[in-house]
C-alpha cells in the first residue's frame, strides 16, 4: 500500500511509520523537516508546511493518508480537501479530550463532545484543545464520509514520549526510596502504548475501517495501585509507595497530571473510564503492562542524565512534600 503520513517523525507518528514499514508498505512522510528529520532514510520525505505550503502533495496519488498532527480545523481542511481525489482513505488522529465535561462515566464514541463558542479560534489551550479536535474530526468526516477513520487515543505512552507523563513513574520508582503515590490507590488509570496504537492504526487502514474509535487501554480496569506496584516489580527497586491523599496534595499546590502524572482529582476520574470496546472488537490489542514499563525505562536511560524533565516532581520538591506529610 502507498501510504502518506502527515507528520511521522515524532512519537506517535514515528511509531505509525515503523508499523507501516514493518508490514511492508511504501511510506511517504510529509513534514517540516524540523524534528528528527534523519529518521527513516529509506522512505520518501516531502518537506513543506501543512498551513499554506502543501505544494509537495499536489498531483500525487496514495491509497491512504494518516494525519497525525491536526489541531486547527482550518489547517486540517487544507490537506483534507487537497487530497480528497487522490487518496481512497483518510485517518485522523484525534483525542479522548474531545469529550465534554458532562460526558458520563464509561463514555463511549457517542457521548457528548466539547464545543467552543468561537469556532474560528486557533489558539490551542487546555480549554480549546478538545473542542478544536472535534471540529477537525468533522472536517475530515464531511470531506471523506465513509472513507474516514477517526481515532481518539487516550494518553499515549512508551519509548520516545517527549512529555514524560508516563516515563516519570518507571524512572522515579527505579531510583527507589520513599515515593509519593497520589490520591486514591483504587482510582482507575488509562493509557495506550504507542506501538500498540501504531500497529492497530496501520491494520485498520489496511482494512479500510471507517467511523470513530476510542483507542485507549488497557483491556481491563487498571488502578493506580496496580500500575505503581507493577513498576516496583519490574524495576526490582526498594521503592516504598507513600499514598498521600488528594486533599493534602491539592492544598500543597501539587498540580494533577503534570507534577504527578496520571493522577487527576476524583472529580475528573471519569475521564479514565473511557469505553474502548469498539476498538477492541475492531482488532486493537495490547502488549503486557510490564513490557511497556520495562521498554520505556530502558529508553529513558539512554537520554542525557542532566536533561530537564517535562513532567513529575523534582527530587527536592518530593522530599519537602514527604517531610510535610510525616510532620503534619
Q: Tell me, letter by letter, the H, E, C secondary structure of 241-253.
A: EEEECHHHHHHCC
**Single residue among 107, 125, 153 that ends a domain in this structure:** 153
pLDDT of residue 283: 98
What is the structure's pLDDT at 18? 98
Q: Is residue 58 in some structural domain?
A: yes
> Same domain for 179 and 130?
no
Give the chain's mean pLDDT: 97
DSSP string, 51-96: TTB-GGGTT---SEEEE-----HHHHHHHHHHHTTT-S-EEEE--G
Q: 181 and 149 in one domain?
A: no
- In a shared domain, residues 146 and 174: no
User: What's the average model confidence in pLDDT over 269-280?
Assistant: 97
Same domain? 305 vs 182: yes
**Do residue 181 and residue 50 come from a single domain?**
no
Question: How many domains is the chain built from?
Answer: 2
pLDDT of residue 103: 96
* Tens digits of residue pLDDT in 76-99: 999 999 999 999 999 999 999 999
Nearest Cα to Cα of residue 201 among 5, 14, 8, 16: 16
Give the pLDDT score at 63. Answer: 97
Residue 126 within a domain: yes
pLDDT at residue 288, rounded to an integer: 98
136 Cα distance to chain centroid: 17
What pLDDT, in 10s, does the model give residues 94-150?
999 999 999 999 999 999 999 999 999 999 999 999 999 999 999 999 999 999 999
Mean pLDDT of all residues in 228-250: 98
- Mean pLDDT value of segment 182-203: 98
Helices (H), 192-265: 194-206, 224-235, 246-251
Whole domain around residue 72: which residue ranges? 2-153
The confidence score (pLDDT) of residue 180 equals 98
pLDDT (0 to 100) of residue 239: 98
Confidence band for 158, pLDDT divided at 50, 70 and 90: very high
Q: What pTM was estimated for this model as a whole?
A: 0.96
Which of the four pLDDT bands, split at 50, 70 and 90, describes residue 271? very high
> Are residues 96 and 181 both part of a single domain?
no
Task: Note the pLDDT of residue 261.
Answer: 97
How sure is the predictor about 236, in pLDDT bands with cuts at 50, 70 and 90? very high
Read off the pLDDT of each residue in 147-175 and give the average, rounded to a whole number. 97
Q: Which residue has the higher pLDDT, 305 or 178?
A: 178
The mean per-residue pLDDT over the stretch 242-269 comes to 97
Mean pLDDT of 25-30: 98
Mean pLDDT confidence for 191-214? 98
- CA distances to 3, 8, 193 from 39, in Å: 17, 9, 20
Question: Do 76 and 132 sit in the same domain of this protein?
Answer: yes
Amino acid at each position: 500500500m502507498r501510504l502518506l503520513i502527515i507528520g511521522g517523525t515524532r512519537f506517535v507518528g514515528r511509531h505509525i511509520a515503523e508499523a507501516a514499514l514493518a508490514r511492508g508498505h511504501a511510506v511517504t512522510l510529509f513534514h517540516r523537516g524540523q524534528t528528527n528529520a534523519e529518521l527513516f532514510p529509506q522512505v520518501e520525505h516531502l518537506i513543506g508546511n501543512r498551513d499554506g505550503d502543501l505544494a509537495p502533495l499536489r498531483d500525487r496519488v496514495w491509497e491512504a493518508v494518516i494525519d497525525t498532527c491536526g489541531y486547527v480545523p482550518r489547517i486540517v481542511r487544507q490537506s483534507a480537501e487537497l487530497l480528497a481525489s487522490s487518496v481512497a482513505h483518510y485517518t485522523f488522529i484525534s483525542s479522548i479530550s474531545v469529550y465534554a465535561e458532562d460526558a458520563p462515566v464509561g463514555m463511549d464514541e457517542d457521548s457528548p463532545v466539547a464545543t467552543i463558542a468561537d469556532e474560528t479560534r486557533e489558539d490551542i489551550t487546555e480549554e480549546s484543545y478538545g473542542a478544536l479536535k472535534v471540529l477537525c474530526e468533522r472536517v475530515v468526516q464531511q470531506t471523506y464520509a465513509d472513507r474516514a477513520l477517526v481515532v481518539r487515543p487516550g494518553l499515549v505512552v512508551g519509548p520516545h514520549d517527549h512529555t514524560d507523563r508516563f516515563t516519570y513513574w518507571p524512572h522515579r520508582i527505579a531510583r527507589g526510596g520513599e515515593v509519593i503515590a497520589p490520591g486514591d490507590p483504587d482510582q482507575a488509570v488509562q493509557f495506550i502504548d504507542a506501538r500498540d496504537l501504531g500497529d492497530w492504526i496501520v491494520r485498520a487502514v489496511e482494512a479500510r475501517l471507517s467511523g470513530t474509535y476510542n483507542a485507549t487501554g488497557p483491556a481491563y480496569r487498571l488502578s493506580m495501585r496496580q500500575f505503581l506496584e507493577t513498576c516496583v516489580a519490574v524495576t526490582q527497586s526498594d521503592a516504598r509507595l507513600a499514598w498521600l491523599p488528594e486533599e493534602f496534595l491539592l492544598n500543597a499546590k501539587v498540580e494533577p497530571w503534570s507534577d504527578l502524572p496520571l493522577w487527576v482529582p476524583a472529580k475528573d476520574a471519569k475521564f479514565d473510564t473511557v469505553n474502548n470496546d469498539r476498538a477492541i472488537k475492531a482488532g486493537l490489542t495490547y502488549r503486557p503492562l510490564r513490557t511497556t514499563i520495562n521498554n520505556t525505562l530502558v529508553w529513558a536511560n539512554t537520554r542525557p542524565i542532566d536533561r530537564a524533565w517535562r513532567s513529575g516532581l523534582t527530587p527536592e520538591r518530593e522530599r519537602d512534600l514527604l517531610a510535610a506529610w510525616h510532620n503534619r
